[in-house]
Amino acid sequence: MQSPQAGAALSRLKDMERRRQEVLAGAIGAIQAMRQGEQHERIKSTVDRHTERLQRHHAEQTAKRPILPCITVTPYQETHEWYGDYTDRRKGAGDADRQE
């Protein structure tokens, strides 16, 4: 009887071998397409490779340091009337100006 660890190791080996076969078949298909002058999904232009490299780099950078939210602080807008002197004016009884 096999242990679960041995069974998992065998399935991993089978998966690795299957993946190797897929990669090899794709590479052979790309080489044959290149020889015949046809397009293949594994044949990429330098622009596509460079774009993918930049996308990978951007994904790595954002995974490490996500962009922080930008908080925009606007200057205070005074909505009341400006008096021009350096004192603080407040409304008193009956809306009379009270100077302090």
Angle among Cα 81, 83, 87 to the nearest 5 degrees reads 120
The residue extents of the domains of the chain are 4-64
pLDDT tens per residue, the chain (100 residues)?
456 666 666 678 888 899 899 989 988 888 888 888 887 777 777 888 899 999 999 988 888 776 778 888 888 776 666 555 555 556 666 666 655 5
pTM to 2 decimal places: 0.36
Contact 78, 71 (CB under 8 A): no
In whole angstroms, give the CA distance from residue 39 to residue 30. Answer: 8
